Amino acid sequence: MQNITILGSTGSIGVSTLDVIRRHPRRYRVLALCAHTQADRLFEQCLEFQPVYAVLGDARQAGQLAQRLAAAGCATAVEHGSGALVRMAGLPEADMVMAAIVGAAGLQSALAAAMAGKKLLLANKEALVMAGSVFMRAVRENGATLLPIDSEHNAIFQSLPHDYSGDLAASGVSGLLLTASGGPFRRTPLADLGRVTPDQACAHPNWAMGRKISVDSATMMNKGLEIIEARWLFNVPAEKIQVVIHPQSVIHSLVQYVDGSVVAELGNPDMRTPIAHALAYPERIGSGVAPLDLFAVGALDFERPDNERFPCLELAYRALREGGSSPATLNAANEIAVRAFLEGKIAFTAISRVVGAAMDRHPATDVSSLAEVMAADEAARRAAENLVAGLAN
């Protein structure tokens, strides 16, 4: 029986993780469930899985949850705040930690799990985008096991040699191919992109995701962040990482070898597949995902990304080339810009303009600590908020 802490249990990744765990009650025990504001969903999860701990962001909500759980006969101890989140990530009795809190908010707890030497299932891509060198140093120095949950990076992990150690040449690898669906606006006329609505941007054709990541998929910033994430996960330079638009989302990513071979991982677009893979690694367990029916798929299409349609992709490559604080600036400015778009303050096409302008205002500086990363993040957020205010006026 393995104990697991889930950071972000009420989000889509957390819910999918619990669905896989539900199928293997003799193999996994939920130690802690952590959420931000979704107290009702967390309450239901606690009743079903009976964790030792539960965490909410707000003290008042946490108090109310504790009362509800006690009245229902559930002995789960409820805590609140970022400090509690970090403590859950490093609990000595936790065998593994699912880091599924979206955005910069998930960085500190994910880093805490790495520093505690945990088997870390990483779904929070911002941890590596913002603080790649700091994060990977913590993984190495503390003996943590890092397993990627993003479908693309999990596919690459599965397609690389089993003993891959970060040396492309020694492993006969010539490059990585990250697949992207192209989102909901792959065929929308460029002149119409400035008028698209948040609901349209969040209507992903293949995946069921939260609103922020759905907008990132529509701009392809999510793929840009994944390029930076892949650089740190697999020790691969930017020029060895190529993005391929694959509308069916059946091939989740590919690894190209020097002998001409290309190895890919295929499956139905369901996050339970990479979650199950990481939970049981190096074994395999059932995920609840239906087998892939290639006859129903019929055809697989591939396209080059259009930089005019997806300017965020080039911004991410720029951030990776500049290094230092630039990826943190990119991520922070994007979070502010996406929130502004979802709130109706700026147009969809303004997201990339805000991010690019924030990067112009804050050239890359060296970062070697979490404090320096967070300082860059804060400065970029202020710059992006000012830029949004200028566009909204």
Write the pLDDT tens digit of every residue in 354-390: 999 999 999 999 998 989 999 999 999 999 999 999 8
Fold of 323-393: Rna Polymerase Sigma Factor; Chain: A (1.10.1740)
pLDDT digits (tens, 9 = 90+) for 154-177: 999 999 999 998 899 899 999 999
pLDDT digits (tens, 9 = 90+) for 85-118: 999 999 999 999 999 998 778 889 999 999 999 9
Q: Tokens 């119409």 appear where?
A: 192
Cβ 243 vs Cβ 307: under 8 Å: no
For residue 313, the model assigns a pLDDT of 96
Residue type, 312: C
For residue 208, the model assigns a pLDDT of 63
For residue 289, the model assigns a pLDDT of 97
pLDDT digits (tens, 9 = 90+) for 7-20: 999 999 999 999 99
Please tell me the distance from the alpha carbon of residue 41 to that of residue 65, in angstroms, as a whole number: 11
Please tell me the distance from the alpha carbon of residue 10 to that of residue 116, in angstroms, as a whole number: 24
| Mean pLDDT estimate for the chain | 94
Please tell me the distance from the alpha carbon of residue 223 to that of residue 197, in angstroms, as a whole number: 21
SS3 at position 264? strand
Residue 3 contacts by C-beta under 8 Å, 6 or more apart in sequence?
28, 29, 30, 31, 93, 94, 95, 96
Q: Which CATH number fits domain 2-148: 3.90.1150.10, 3.40.50.720, 3.50.30.30, 3.90.580.10?
A: 3.40.50.720
Please tell me the distance from the alpha carbon of residue 195 to that of residue 268, in angstroms, as a whole number: 32
Cβ 225 vs Cβ 124: under 8 Å: no
Predicted confidence (pLDDT) at residue 392 exceeds the cutoff of 90: no
Question: Where residue 393 falls among pLDDT bands split at 50, 70, 90?
Answer: low
pLDDT digits (tens, 9 = 90+) for 266-296: 999 999 999 999 999 999 999 999 999 999 9
Tell me the average pLDDT across 224-243. 95
Question: Where residue 213 falls among pLDDT bands split at 50, 70, 90?
Answer: confident
Question: Where residue 212 falls among pLDDT bands split at 50, 70, 90?
Answer: confident
Please tell me the distance from the alpha carbon of residue 310 to that of residue 315, in angstroms, as a whole number: 9
Predicted confidence (pLDDT) at residue 82 exceeds the cutoff of 80: yes
Cβ 184 vs Cβ 159: under 8 Å: no
Please tell me the distance from the alpha carbon of residue 268 to that of residue 290, in angstroms, as a whole number: 7
For residue 206, the model assigns a pLDDT of 64
pLDDT digits (tens, 9 = 90+) for 132-147: 999 999 999 999 999 9
Whole-Å CA distances, 57 to 34, 63, 65: 9, 11, 12
Give bridge partners of residue 254 from the DSSP assignment: 177, 264
Predicted confidence (pLDDT) at residue 325 exceeds the cutoff of 90: yes
Tell me the average pLDDT across 200-224. 84
For residue 229, the model assigns a pLDDT of 95
Q: How many CA atoms lie within 13 A of 375 on its CB side?
A: 10
Rounded to two decimals, what is the model's pTM? 0.91
**Domain ranges for the chain:** 2-148, 323-393
For residue 375, the model assigns a pLDDT of 94
Residue 86 contacts by C-beta under 8 Å, 6 or more apart in sequence?
108, 109, 112
Chain CA centroid to CA 32, Å: 20
Please tell me the distance from the alpha carbon of residue 55 to that of residue 108, in angstroms, as a whole number: 15
Residue type, 109: S
Task: Look up residue 283 and give its two tokens.
Answer: 């074994």
- Domain pair 2-148 / 323-393, same fold: no
Give bridge partners of residue 147 from the DSSP assignment: 121
What percent of the chain clears pLDDT 70, i.e. is strictly above it? 98
For residue 391, the model assigns a pLDDT of 85
